[in-house]
């Protein structure tokens, strides 16, 4: 058990430390990091999610229990954060940031740990999980920001803003298209499989 934990966590922390050292010794700069963030968010990570789900064995299906537990856990932490906002009188300006810092998780670090511990099958289930919890998190985040903004926004506008955040999220698009591909095709030609493999290999190290 200890060796599994070490083998799963050590590479992640090693890459995080490497990234810190590269920035400290000015081998990277803010422009590079901003560009990398955009590439990871809009291209490399969605491709990784699509590839892992789209080419996975569909026999095991979606782990609904995992998705339900994830949503319940996030909802519970959100409620605790809402109580904390009231108890500690956090200002409206900081409320949204405080709330999100309580229940949002780092997808990149989570994916890296899951891949090290559980391999491709774990990545598939984690990708599906984030496809369900990210829309839920977006609903909570937008609702909290609107609530504490003090603006009078009609319910239909709240729905429109939330839906826009969901349907334009690259990770959700990668997850949904991956599920559709797995359902109707499920096999990648060798040249596409190799291309996705190479591009996906960039995602996690660069994200960390």
40-70: pLDDT as tens digits = 989 998 898 888 888 876 555 677 888 899 9
| Nearest C-alpha neighbor of 186 from the set 82, 69, 60, 98 | 60
Q: Which residues contact 15 (CB under 8 A, 6 or more apart)?
A: 112, 205, 208
Which percentage of the chain shows pLDDT scores above 70?
93
Mean model confidence pLDDT for the chain: 83
- Residue spans of the domains in the chain: they are 2-60+105-207
Collapsed DSSP state (helix, strand, coil) of residue 187:
coil
pLDDT of 111 strictly over 80:
yes
Burial class (CB in 10 A: 0-12, 13-18, 19+), 48: buried
pTM for this prediction: 0.77
User: What is the number of alpha carbons within 13 Å of residue 3 lying toward its C-beta?
Assistant: 0
Total residue count of the chain as it appears in this document = 208
Burial of 109 (0-12, 13-18, 19+ CB in 10 A): middle
Q: Comparing 11-25, 154-168, 181-195, which segment has the lowest mean pLDDT?
A: 154-168
Q: Give the angle subtended at the CA of 98 by the CAs of 94 and 99, to the nearest 5°.
A: 120
Whether residue 156 is predicted with pLDDT greater than 80 in this model: the reply is: no
Rounded Cα gap, residues 63 and 54, in angstroms: 16
Residues 15-25 have a mean pLDDT of: 88
């Amino acid at each position: 058990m200890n060796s599994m934990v070490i083998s799963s966590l050590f590479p992640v922390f090693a890459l995080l430390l490497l990234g810190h050292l590269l920035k400290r010794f000015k081998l990277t700069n803010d422009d590079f990091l901003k560009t990398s963030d955009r590439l990871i968010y809009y291209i490399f990570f969605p491709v990784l999610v699509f590839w892992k789900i789209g080419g996975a064995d569909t026999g095991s299906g979606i782990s609904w229990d995992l998705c339900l537990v994830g949503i319940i856990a996030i909802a519970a932490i959100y409620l605790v954060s809402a109580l904390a906002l009231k108890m500690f009188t956090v200002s409206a300006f900081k409320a949204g940031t405080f709330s999100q810092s309580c229940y949002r998780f780092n997808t990149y670090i989570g994916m890296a740990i899951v891949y090290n511990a559980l391999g491709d099958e774990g990545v598939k289930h984690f990708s599906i999980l984030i496809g369900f919890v990210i829309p839920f998190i977006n609903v909570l985040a937008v609702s909290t920001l609107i609530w504490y903004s003090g603006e009078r926004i009609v319910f239909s506008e709240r729905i429109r803003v939330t839906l826009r955040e969901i349907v334009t999220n690259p990770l959700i698009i990668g997850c949904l298209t991956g599920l559709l591909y797995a359902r109707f095709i499920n096999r990648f030609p060798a040249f596409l499989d190799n291309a996705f493999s190479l591009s996906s290999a960039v995602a996690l190290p660069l994200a960390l």
